[in-house]
Structure formats: structure tokens, C-alpha cells
């Protein structure tokens, strides 16, 4: 591995636990100015204080999320976009290049691919090209691989999730972000079929903190290398405490029950 990519990966992955907590904040492009992201710098400060390893956002928001104070935190630029208003919202197009992202001082980039969608071939082609650029520049690449399309009846089914994860690894990603399959046993199938670290997506807002913490604990038991949780963190009642609780499960081997006491 090129030293540049190795150094950047260490900024977004805990060196001791080898796990990561990423807080995506790119929802503004897909869903608009949702609750919790009205003041981006304030939210970044809270998750940094709580112990998150990195935040993820679109290129135009990096200047709004940068604080210039407080605890340091890794930055990942998301290169893909679509809006919920589009009739083709599953078609993720590339809106930023690796070279652009480097100018923003990022520690990694991410690409979203909906495996099984009508435009799968274009999204896979994009991932392959971005992967090549990331190797040239020593930039870690996170591939967000989701099974979504007409043939996909259950996007959380292990059979589909492990195929999507493997596809991202096949095309040169360094880390895979994908759906949790519902149990440690089925998620182990995903991890075993993928030669690179797999992290779990947080998904839609859950009913309570217990559900989130239990999912995180189960995912780690199943072999996950971390989580990428947005709404279930920055829309929680106490963002700092929720971040701390999840981080403690990842890096301090706390159980969900023990971590709940931190909230």
C-alpha cells in the first residue's frame, strides 16, 4: 500500500481497535436541510467531541463544516449524488473528482453504487475509474454498495448484501459500506466473502437508542470493522453522548447495555 493511502486511512480508522465510526452528513443533497444539519460546524463539533473518527459530506459543505477549533476529526468527501425529487433517484452520478477532493484536504473519498438498479453498469464504471484515480493519488476509497433494483425484493438479504460488498472489493475499494443483514450470523457471510473491511450503514432513523446500539454490537460480533451512522447520531437528543456510546462499543469493546449508560 502506498504510504499516502496508509497515512490517510489511519486518520479515519482507529489505530488500536482497527475500527471506525463515520458520521455521514451528506443528506442535504438527497433529502434537503433535514433536522440536525442546520448548523453543520456545530454538529461536526459534537460528533468530534463524542469520539467519531470521521465525518462525510459533499464537496460544497466542507467549508461550512470546517471549524478551525476543537478536536480533530477525519474528513471524507462523497463523490456521488442524486435527489429524492428525481424520477431516477437510484442513479448516482459523479459530482466531484478525486483531484477536487484533494484540494479540500480530505482523508478519503466515497462513491455510492446501487447494485441491481437500472443504471448499475454506469455506476460500476464510475467506481472503477475512481478506484484507479485513488490508487494514483494514495487516497482511501469507501464504496457504498447497496442492493437496490427491480430484482431486489429485500435489500437486507445476506445473499444480495454479500454480492454487493464483493463487487465493491472487486473494483478496488478499500472499505465497503453496506446494509446490516439483521443478525451476526448472516453478516458474517458478508464479511467472509469480502477481502476488505466492511462497515455497516445506519439507515433510516430508528425508534430509540437501544435499537441503534444493539445493531452496532451485533454488527461487530458479525465481523464489521465499524459503522457509518448519520441520522441516528445527529438527530439524537444528545449527539455527543450518542456518539460516545457507539464509539465505546467499537473501540472499548463495551456491550450495548454498558454503552447505554453513557447516554
Domain ranges of the chain: 3-260
pLDDT at 151: 87
Catalytic residues: 26, 146, 177
Radius of gyration of the chain (CA): 17
Burial 53-79 (b: 16+ CB within 10 A, else e): bbbbbbbebbeebeeeeeeebbbbbbb
Residue with cell 489511519: 10
Domain 3-260, CATH homologous superfamily name and number: Aldolase class I (3.20.20.70)
Pairwise CA distance, residues 69 & 85, whole Å:
36
Reduce the secondary structure of 141-186 to three states and give it as a string.
EEEEEEECCCCCCCCCCHHHHHHHHHHHHHCCCCEEEECCCCCHHH
Report if pTM > 0.75: yes
Q: How many residues are recorded in the chain?
A: 263
CB 168 within 8 A of CB 113: yes
pLDDT tens sequence across 1-11: 689 999 999 99
pLDDT tens sequence across 46-94: 999 999 999 999 999 999 999 999 999 999 999 999 999 998 989 999 9
Amino acid at each position: 500500500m502506498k504510504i499516502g493511502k496508509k497515512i490517510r486511512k489511519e486518520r479515519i480508522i482507529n489505530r488500536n481497535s482497527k475500527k471506525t465510526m463515520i458520521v455521514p452528513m451528506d443528506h442535504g443533497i438527497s433529502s434537503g436541510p433535514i433536522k440536525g444539519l442546520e448548523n453543520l460546524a456545530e454538529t461536526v463539533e459534537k460528533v468530534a467531541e463524542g469520539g467519531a473518527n470521521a465525518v462525510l459530506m459533499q464537496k460544497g459543505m466542507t467549508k461550512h463544516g470546517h471549524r478551525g477549533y476543537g478536536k480533530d476529526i477525519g474528513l471524507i468527501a462523497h463523490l456521488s449524488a442524486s435527489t429524492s425529487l428525481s424520477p431516477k433517484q437510484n442513479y448516482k452520478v459523479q459530482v466531484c473528482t478525486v483531484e477536487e477532493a484533494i484540494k479540500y484536504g480530505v482523508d478519503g473519498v466515497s462513491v455510492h453504487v446501487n447494485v441491481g438498479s437500472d443504471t448499475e453498469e454506469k455506476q460500476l464504471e464510475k467506481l472503477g475509474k475512481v478506484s484507479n484515480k485513488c490508487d494514483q493519488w494514495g487516497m482511501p476509497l469507501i464504496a457504498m454498495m447497496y442492493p437496490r433494483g427491480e430484482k431486489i425484493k429485500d435489500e437486507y438479504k445476506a445473499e444480495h448484501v454479500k454480492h454487493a460488498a464483493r463487487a465493491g472489493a472487486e473494483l478496488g475499494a478499500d472499505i465497503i459500506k453496506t446494509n446490516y443483514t439483521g443478525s451476526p450470523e448472516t453478516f458474517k457471510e458478508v464479511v467472509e466473502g469480502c477481502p476488505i473491511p466492511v462497515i455497516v450503514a445506519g439507515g433510516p432513523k430508528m425508534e430509540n437508542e437501544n435499537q441503534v446500539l444493539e445493531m452496532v454490537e451485533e454488527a461487530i460480533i458479525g465481523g464489521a470493522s465499524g459503522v457509518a451512522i448519520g441520522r441516528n447520531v445527529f438527530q439524537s437528543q444528545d449527539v455527543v453522548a450518542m456518539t460516545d456510546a457507539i464509539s465505546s462499543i467499537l473501540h472499548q469493546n463495551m456491550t450495548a447495555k454498558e454503552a447505554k449508560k453513557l447516554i
